[in-house]
Homo-oligomer: A and B are copies of this chain.
């Protein structure tokens, strides 16, 4: 069932039907009515391939996530999907392995499908991938969702993780904590680097010695938080507070402390980052730094669609974070 058949059934030419479908050009009210009715009756759906061949638009967006098991990304996607869906877009989701070997391939796979735009998440900053994204963004909008892109010639939205972590660290210091441990990403995982900087700065300003043994590098898995807490608490002088670069890792640490019967917050305070939905339900509820996820995600997808439909100019935006104090500190 194609545009010709509809035209025949409605007693008009295919041009008129085309005008109805693509909603531009003049069509008489009666013709419009009749054509819509026929299309509905036969359940006509325009062929995307033919349409795409002429317009070079697919109404598809490609999204790269490093790990969907992390609820952080799932929460992002819920917001993105809702908005993109309401504007007629559908999203391809690719999972790139943590060490980024698949990213280049997946980006090519997406481009081969003529996606209209790309939303890029990564745990790392890989210069080869970055160069590719920069090249691509000349013709296909790309939005990166992390602060590590600051300074790059790319569109991004992010939160000021440095400032947020700085504030939270100061808060812990002011509550009397003196041995504050930090769970960050490994060297390869640059995504939380600015958060770690905020921690270091606050410690320095308070004249608290920076202790290498109070820093643990993980891969942003819940298990890494678990392992980190184990590493910290077995030391001769265990910390009286543990901060993590993400809630997901903080929950892992909390699990360890609970399993070991170490009381939170009496013996050790725990602070996360992200304010995931479930942090109100942990035992005890988690003190965390709120990353304005809904705003970020909304801005990311709306900016991308704006770039697709209007203006390809680079968009860069940084949001503030906010400390949320709960019972874990």
Contacts from A to B (Cβ < 8 Å): 45-53, 56, 58-60, 62, 68-69, 71, 74-75, 77-78, 81-82, 85, 90-95, 102, 106, 108-114, 222-223, 226, 252, 255, 258-259, 277-278, 281-284
- Which chain B residues lie closer than 8 Å to A94 at the CB level? 81, 85, 90
* Given A78-B69, A81-B95, A281-B226: A48 in contact with B255 (beta carbons within 8 A): no
Main secondary structure of the interface of A (DSSP, over half): helix
* 8 Å CB contact of A69 from B75, B112, B252: B75
* Given A75-B69, A222-B278, A252-B281: A48 in contact with B259 (beta carbons within 8 A): no
Identical chains in the assembly: 2
- Which chain B residues lie closer than 8 Å to A91 at the CB level? 92-93
* 29 CB-based A-B contacts, threshold 8 Å: A45-B112, A47-B53, A48-B58, A48-B112, A48-B113, A48-B114, A49-B50, A49-B114, A52-B52, A53-B53, A60-B92, A62-B90, A68-B68, A69-B75, A69-B78, A69-B277, A71-B71, A74-B74, A77-B93, A85-B106, A85-B109, A90-B92, A93-B93, A223-B281, A255-B281, A255-B282, A255-B283, A258-B258, A259-B284
- Which chain B residues lie closer than 8 Å to A46 at the CB level? 112
- Which chain B residues lie closer than 8 Å to A78 at the CB level? 68-69, 95
4 nearest CB pairs, A to B: A49-B52, A258-B283, A49-B53, A68-B74
A91 to B93, CA, bound (A): 6
Chain B nearest CB from A221 CB (Å) reads 9
A91 to B106, CA, bound (A): 12
Cβ-closest chain B residue relative to A111: B45
Cβ-closest chain B residue relative to A56: B49
User: Are B93 and A110 in contact, CB atoms less than 8 angstroms apart?
Assistant: no
A89 to B93, CA, bound (A): 11
A259 to B285, CA, bound (A): 9
Chain B nearest CB from A59 CB (Å) reads 8
